[in-house]
Amino acid sequence: MRDHLVDACVEHICNKGCREVRKDIATMEQGGTPEGAETLNTRQKARVLTELKTIMSVYGTECRI
User: Is there a domain that residue 10 lies in?
Assistant: yes
Per-residue confidence (pLDDT) for residue 62, from 0 to 100: 74
Please determine, for residue 61, whether its predicted confidence score (pLDDT) is greater than 90.
no
User: Is there a domain that residue 37 lies in?
Assistant: yes
CA distance 63 to 37: 22
User: Is there a domain that residue 48 lies in?
Assistant: yes
Domain span at 22: 4-57
User: Is there a domain that residue 33 lies in?
Assistant: yes
Residues 20-46: pLDDT tens digits? 999 999 999 999 999 999 999 999 999
The average confidence (pLDDT) of the chain is 92
User: Is there a domain that residue 64 lies in?
Assistant: no
Residue 60 banded pLDDT, cuts 50, 70, 90: confident
User: Is there a domain that residue 63 lies in?
Assistant: no
By the 10 Å C-beta count (0-12 exposed, 13-18 middle, 19+ buried), 28 is classed as buried
In the chain, the number of structural domains is 1
